[in-house]
């Protein structure tokens, strides 16, 4: 039994004394203890070494006492497992030297045995569960198939993902075949994570907002729906689509346990668009954590008042930035933990 099950209760829609709190990307780059590990090991070594990944996962829990831990990993371990080379270049980000651009490229992409290719993730989960000792739940995650496709086709990060869109719009059959391969791999991966011990899963559709509402249905949402359908009876599924306010209505009917909201969508609009009966998560602007701690506490309290304390998980509207002072992150977490109606 998990001692602090506030997060899981909020996902079920139960009445809670206060909202649970965690932060996207809380395991990592803003923490001095993480920076010490980063000096010694490169990015994918940190992901692939269970002892390192589990240590990084629990660091913020030790420091701040969030109500949930999220496994340190990366969404791009999926294409790596599918035999697509992914490098993480310092001061540049992800780089794929041989991007997918043709039907032949898609034909060469494999659907792997995740228990073999991604066994290191499962071992990291087991090591993390031991360290957490049932204090708080552990979240596993994956990128949405569309977001993974964006990197696979573009070959790197982008402000527009123009090459990814061109691929989808000029070679839709190849695009859908690639999306299905990513979806099948992701479903197997998340199921293996649940079996290994995660208590909930989150799907990050970081680049969903790049698509029009019509294209979103075709190239992103239908694949996320497959993932929800496959996982929802095994673990709560949270869907976070950055810039995807237009899809909140469909998302709310999907069987997902909760929906993430970014900072461009107000609590009132998010409740209205999602129908008001599903747990929402978010939506503090990560850059607002640069404000003075006293201001952060006031804004967090206002955010909770606007969302309401029930059916709500306090979080950021995207991942925490690397330049956030540790005391400001603490102010965010403390403000939620001290919240009283």
Q: String of b and e for 190-217 (b: at least 16 CB within 10 Å)?
A: bbbbbebbbbbbbbbbbbbbbbeeeebe
Distance separating alpha carbons of residues 131 and 290, to the nearest angstrom = 31
276 assigned to a ligand binding site = no
Q: Is 29 a known ligand-binding residue?
A: yes
> Is 74 marked within a binding site?
yes
Instruction: Find out whether 233 is annotated in a ligand binding site.
Output: no
Q: Average of pLDDT values for 297-305?
A: 98
The mean pLDDT of 33-41, rounded to a whole number, is 97
For tokens 């000096």, what's the residue? 39
In this prediction, residues 228-239 reach a mean pLDDT of: 98
Q: Give the pLDDT mean for 15-36.
A: 98
Burial of residue 10 (CB within 10 Å: 0-12, 13-18, 19+) is buried
Copy the structure tokens of residue 152. 């696979």
Q: What is the pLDDT of residue 253?
A: 98
For residue range 304-320, list pLDDT tens digits in order. 999 999 999 999 999 99
Q: Is the pLDDT of residue 97 over 90?
A: yes
Q: Does 176 show up as a binding residue in the annotation?
A: no
> Are the C-beta atoms of residues 192 and 118 closer than 8 Å to each other?
yes
Assign 153 a pLDDT band (cuts: 50, 70, 90). Answer: very high
Confidence (pLDDT) at 167: 98
pLDDT of residue 341 exceeding 90: no
Q: List the beta bridge partners of residue 56.
A: none
Domains of the chain: 22-284 (3.20.20.210)
Query: Is pLDDT at 38 greater than 90 in this prediction?
Result: yes
Average pLDDT along the chain: 98
Instruction: Report, as an integer, the average pLDDT of 95-100.
Output: 98
Decide: helix, strand or coil at residue 316: strand
Percent of the chain with pLDDT over 90: 99
Average pLDDT estimate for 236-252: 98
Q: 27: annotated binding-site residue?
A: yes
User: For every residue of 182-199, which 3-state class applies, written as one string?
Assistant: HHHHHHHHHHHHHHHCCC
Is pTM beyond 0.75? Reply is: yes
Structure token digits, residue 290: 């640069």
Q: Is the pLDDT of residue 73 over 90?
A: yes
């Amino acid at each position: 039994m998990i001692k602090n099950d506030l997060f899981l209760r909020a996902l079920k829609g139960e009445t809670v004394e206060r909202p649970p709190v965690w932060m996207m990307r809380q395991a990592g780059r803003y923490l001095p203890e993480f920076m010490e590990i980063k000096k010694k090991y490169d990015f994918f070594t940190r992901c692939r070494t269970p002892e390192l990944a589990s240590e990084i996962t629990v660091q913020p829990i030790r420091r701040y006492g969030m109500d949930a831990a999220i496994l340190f990993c990366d969404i791009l371990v999926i294409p790596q497992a599918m035999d697509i080379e992914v490098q993480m270049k310092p001061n540049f980000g992800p780089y794929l030297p041989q991007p997918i651009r043709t039907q032949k490229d898609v034909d060469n992409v494999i659907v792997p045995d995740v228990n073999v290719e991604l066994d290191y993730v499962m071992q990291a989960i087991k090591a993390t569960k031991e360290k957490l000792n049932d204090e708080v739940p552990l979240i596993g995650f994956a990128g949405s198939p569309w977001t993974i496709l964006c990197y696979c086709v573009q070959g790197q990060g982008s402000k527009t993902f123009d090459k990814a869109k061109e691929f989808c719009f000029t070679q839709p059959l190849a695009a859908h075949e690639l999306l299905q391969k990513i979806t099948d791999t992701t479903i197997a991966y998340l199921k293996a994570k649940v079996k290994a011990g995660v208590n909930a899963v989150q799907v990050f559709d970081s680049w969903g907002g790049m698509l029009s509402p019509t294209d979103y249905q075709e190239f992103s949402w239908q694949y996320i729906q497959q993932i929800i359908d496959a996982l929802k009876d095994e673990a709560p599924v949270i869907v976070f689509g950055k810039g995807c306010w237009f899809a909140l209505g469909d998302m709310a009917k999907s069987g997902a346990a909760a929906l993430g909201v970014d900072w461009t969508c107000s609590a009132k609009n998010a409740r209205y668009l999602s129908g008001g009966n599903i747990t929402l998560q978010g939506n503090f602007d990560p850059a607002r954590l640069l404000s003075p701690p006293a201001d952060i506490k006031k804004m967090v309290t206002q955010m909770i008042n606007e969302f309401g304390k029930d059916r709500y998980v306090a979080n950021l509207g995207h991942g925490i930035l690397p330049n956030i002072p540790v005391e400001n992150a603490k102010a965010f977490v403390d403000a939620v933990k001290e919240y009283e109606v």
